[in-house]
Amino acid sequence: MRYLLPLVAVLTTTAVAVPGCKSEKKDLLAFPAGYQPQTAELTFNKANLEAFNSMTPDAREKHIEELKGTPGSFKGQAVHQSGNGIADTVEEFEFGDYEIQAHTPEPVLFEITIEYNIYTQKDVAKALHPTRPLEFSGTLIDMRYEDASKPRKLVVRVKADELKTITK
């Protein structure tokens, strides 16, 4: 009985204090504001992907070859899915000793999503935050546009020169 009065006092204070507390609600799982694969200055943002989508197959091939021929010209944003080391006996080892798989979870244009295989060095890749958005720039290695399948998608392979987690 002697513990009842202090307990009632604590519960009453807590009940009064909590509703009076005003805090801004945040979606803790939301991506940072800097992650904008549709509108940021990227190789395949919404506007550039729309132009690419409307090209003829020959014009697409020419555009891809131009991107491959310009080192460091490819820029992208995606969500980091996973990564793994690459043995020196694997063909892709020439692009880096670590491969990162990333994707755009929401379509960039219509239903078109992008899947990335990003090659870098292990020490750079290990500094990235898993399952968070990242941005990168580098050289296009190869690209496949699956426009006959639904939903359509780009599968892009890039050798990254710069790579970082988007935090803001």
Residue-range domain boundaries for the chain:
46-165
Banded model confidence at residue 6, pLDDT cuts 50, 70, 90: low
Q: What is the pLDDT of residue 5?
A: 58
The predicted model gives 133-153 an average pLDDT of 91
Options 3.40.50, 3.30.200, 2.40.50, 3.30.70; CATH of 46-165: 2.40.50
Quote the pTM value: 0.81
Contact 95, 79 (CB under 8 A): no
**Measured torsion, CA atoms of residues 109, 35, 122, 157, in degrees rounded to the nearest 10:** 10
Average pLDDT value over all residues in the chain: 87
Say what percent of the chain tops pLDDT 70.
Answer: 83
Q: What is the pLDDT of residue 11?
A: 58
Residue 166 CB-density burial (10 A; 0-12 exposed, 13-18 middle, 19+ buried): buried
Banded model confidence at residue 2, pLDDT cuts 50, 70, 90: low
Say what percent of the chain tops pLDDT 90.
Answer: 70
The model's pLDDT over 40-75, given as tens digits with 9 standing for 90+, comes to 999 999 999 999 989 999 999 999 999 998 999 999
Please tell me the distance from the alpha carbon of residue 155 to that of residue 103, in angstroms, as a whole number.
Answer: 9
Residue position matching structure tokens 């549709």:
38
The model's pLDDT over 104-116, given as tens digits with 9 standing for 90+, comes to 999 999 899 999 9
Does residue 28 have a pLDDT over 80?
A: no
Does residue 17 have a pLDDT over 70?
A: no
- The H or E element containing residue 11 is helix 4-20
The predicted model gives 78-89 an average pLDDT of 94
Banded model confidence at residue 149, pLDDT cuts 50, 70, 90: confident
The predicted model gives 124-139 an average pLDDT of 92
Distance of CA 167 to the CA centre of its chain: 12
The predicted model gives 89-115 an average pLDDT of 94
